Structure formats: C-alpha cells, structure tokens
Amino acid sequence: MDYFVFKDGELYCEDVRVSVIAEKVGTPFYLYSASTIERHLKAYESALTGLPHLVCYAVKANSNLAVLKLLGDLGAGADIVSGGELFRVTKAGISPQKVVYSGVGKSEHEISMALDQGILMFNVESFGELKAIERLSQEKGKVAPISFRVNPDVDPKTHPYISTGLEENKFGLPVEDALRAYEYAKSSDCLAIKGISCHIGSQLTDLSPFIDALKRVLRLVDTLHDKGIDIEFLDMGGGLGIRYSDETPPLPEEYADALRETLGERPITLVLEPGRSIVGNAGILVTKVLYKKETGKKAFLIVDAAMNDLARPSLYKAHHEIVPVERGGRESRPFDVVGPICETGDFFARSRELEDVDPGALLAIRSAGAYGFTMSSNYNSRPRVAEVMARGDHFSVVRARETYDDLIRGEEFFHG
Ligand code: LLP
C-alpha cells in the first residue's frame, strides 16, 4: 500500500491533501507518513520472526524526535554515531540497552556519555578507540560492552561515497587485526566482548555483497569460537536500498531469508541497522515554484527549496522523482528544477520530463525521508524547513520552521 497517492489529480499523504498542509505551514517542508514508517519497520520485524534479533534504526537517516519516538514505541533500538544522536534517542524514550554506537571517531566526551547511559555495545573501529574506551571505563569503574567492526573487503556496487566495506575505506578493522583486537579485549577487565559488526555500504540493490560479507564475518566468528571467544550479537549494519526511480531492491523478507540461511544454527542474535529502507520512501519534500525561466537552451523551474534543504542531487547526482502536487493535465516537457542558491550545483533535476506547471504550483520531491532533513544546512542563511508528520487524516508539525533569530543563535559581536 502506498501512502502517497493521487486522488482526483491531487497528491495525498495518507488521508491528507498535501496542498492543505502547504497552506497551513507554508513551503518548503518535509512531510512524513507515519504509517509508511511503521509498515517498513514491521516488514523487518516479521521477516526476522523466529530469529533472535534487534533492529537498530540508523538515526542518521532521519533523526526527528517524532520519527524516533514512533520507531521506539514499536520496539526498535537505535544505531547512533554521535553524542547528539544519543541525546536524541534518549529524549525519544529509546532504551540505551537497545543502542549500538558506530563511527570511526568517537570523542572521549561521547564515549563517556555512552558509558554513563549504559548502551548495548560500542562498534569499535580501531585500536586507538579501543584503548580510549578501556581507559575511560576503567576510570569509571565500569565494564564497556564492545563489538569490533570488521572490514570484510567486499564491493557493495553502490555509489563510491556511500560504499564503506572495501579495504581502501576508513571503516572497520581488517579481519587479521580484528583477531588481535579480540584477544586484547578478552584479556582486559574493563572490556566485555559482546559482538561483531560490519557495514559495507548504503543503497545496495543486490543481496550478494551482504551475503559475501556475512560469510567472511562468520569465518571470523568461528575462528574466535575456537579460541574460546563467543559472540552474542552479529551486527550486519544497514544498507538495504530503496526504489528512487526504477531500482528493484530486495525486500527485507528476501534479505532476512538469505541471512537466516547463511547464519545456520549458530546461537547468535542478529542486529540490523537499517536507515534508508525505513524512512526513505516515507517522506517527501514539498516545494513551490517561484519562477519559470526560459532561456534559448533550457526551461528552468526555480523553486523555493534548495540544495541546503536536500543535498542528495547536488552531492551524489541522486535521482529523486518530482511530481506536481496538483495535476493539471498539461503536456510534459524537459525542465531543470533548481533552487535559489548561488551555485550551479543547486539543482533537484536536470532535463527532466515534467508536466508543465506555472509559478505558484507545488511540487513534491519524492523519496526524501532519508538523508534529507538530516543533511540540511543553513547555507545562504536559509532557515531550515519545517517537518510535518501525517497519519490517517491528521497531521502535525514535528519540527517548526527555523526563524531568522534561530539563524544567529549563539552568535555575538567580537569582544576584542
Ligand atoms: N550503519 C552504519 C554503520 C552506517 O554507516 C549507515 C549509513 C547505516 C547503518 C545506515 O545505512 P542505510 O540503511 O541507511 O543504507 N548520505 C548518504 C548515505 C550515507 C550512509 C552512511 N551510513 C545518502 O544520502 O545516500
């Protein structure tokens, strides 16, 4: 079931007309469908039935408190990468006992915070980090739960900026180093070995890299077992892709079946860290056409959202479907959809066949629920946009549009 559908030529989010929300909150804004988020989490949950597991939603994909609360209430844990994300998940009521902490550069302050809160495990990515965690837990008289993120050196066949499991990437420990790291951790009184983890990349549309990675990780799990080190949690990271245009990514069910088959009878709790596949297609960015500009070569739709609001097209040349919120039944023709920012890279689509619209029309930029708002900035001193959530025939603003005062909060004249 799609919760973003046209009825009589008008785009709805659940049972709410998108144009009605635009009238109430102004444009641009992100709009999330609560039922879609819920359905996506449940797809993972039912796919993993019978397998001991924990779904730790990757907060970086969309960290709005309403999204975290919704997922937390449905039983999800969280995958975090910063103290700020830990702060958010605790505010949303997610138990630290369901939190895994990933990332190559955890600061002392962040490690301390996570130790104090009592998270499920640190996904450790280097010896340096391991030593820092050990020292801090010793100072606190605590035992730090750890897992090592190994780099399985498989090619996820995705965009180079979001592929992370190759030997040349900065992430994880090579398998040989991981062995030494586990032995070191075993000998420490302040470290408790909980798991093993990997994350090979994002927007994967094929299962085979995941399964190759899992096989390599399992080889290490078996070697560790022979050395008397048993692993309780196996964390496969995130990465399952979504459909932006014509991709056909595997379903969580297919993914889970393949994992189950490869895992065999090992007594292990599987952790997954999906981000994009939970929220990506649960959100759109709604923007208004300000001007239509025709040059000899091109037709531009200049809209009120920009690359600071949704960076993916500029950053990765990512494709996002764009549809008019109200269909007028006019002919399609090629447009460049661009924002007001003073950079040529500020575009949402180039030479895209779109139904002809006039200034004032609303456009929906689709599949914008993941890595949309979270990657937005104040570039060009543009206040960040509002975020709205809808369920059934209700909607509410879950993050207010920033004001000009928000823009300068904390700034002061130089007191030289
Ligand atoms: N776990 C770890 C350790 C990660 O680094 C990531 C994403 C995830 C989980 C979630 O992956 P997902 O299920 O969302 O694929 N900004 C880029 C995506 C960067 C992904 C970074 N890591 C984009 O807009 O495509």
Q: Are 282 and 14 in contact (CB under 8 A)?
A: no
Q: What is the mean pLDDT of residues 41-59?
A: 98
Q: What is the pLDDT of residues 194-213, one digit of tens each?
A: 999 999 999 999 999 999 99
Q: What is the pLDDT of residues 285-342, one digit of tens each?
A: 999 999 999 998 899 999 999 999 999 999 999 999 999 999 999 999 999 999 999 9
Which of 163, 276, 285, 319, when mutated, tests ligand 1's pocket best, judged by the most ligand atoms within 8 Å of its CB?
A: 276
What pLDDT does residue 162 have? 62
Chain-wide mean pLDDT for the chain?
A: 96
Q: What is the pLDDT of residues 84-98, one digit of tens each?
A: 999 999 999 999 999
Q: Which long-range contacts (CB under 8 A, 24 or more apart) does 138-144 make?
A: 138/189, 138/190, 140/112, 140/115, 140/116, 142/115, 142/190, 143/189, 143/190, 143/191, 143/192, 144/115, 144/190, 144/191, 144/192
Q: Are 172 and 211 in contact (CB under 8 A)?
A: no
Q: What is the pLDDT of residues 167-199, one digit of tens each?
A: 677 788 998 899 999 999 999 999 999 999 999
Instruction: Name the residue with the closest Cα to ligand 1, atom 19.
Output: 162
What pLDDT does residue 155 have? 77
Whether 342 is catalytic is: yes
Give me ligand 1 centre to Cα 203, in Å.
8
- Asked whether the predicted pLDDT for residue 32 surpasses 90, the reply is yes
The amino acid sitting at 416 is G
Question: How do strand 121-124 and strand 99-101 relate by DSSP bridges?
Answer: parallel
Pocket of ligand 1 (CB under 6 A): 58, 61, 79, 102, 162, 199, 202-203, 237-240, 273-277, 312, 316, 370-371
Active-site residue among 13, 190, 198, 342? 342
Give me ligand 1 centre to Cα 312, in Å.
13
What pLDDT does residue 159 have? 66
| Domains present along the chain, CATH in parentheses | 4-32+280-407 (2.40.37.10), 34-276 (3.20.20.10)
Give me ligand 1 centre to Cα 298, in Å.
35
What percent of the chain has pLDDT above 90?
93
Measured in whole angstroms, how far is the alpha carbon of residue 326 from the centre of its chain? Answer: 29
Give me ligand 1 centre to Cα 61, in Å.
7
Give me ligand 1 centre to Cα 57, in Å.
10
What CA–CA distance (Å, rounded) separates 4 from 6?
7
What pLDDT does residue 70 have? 98
The pLDDT-based confidence of 416 (bands split at 50, 70, 90) is confident
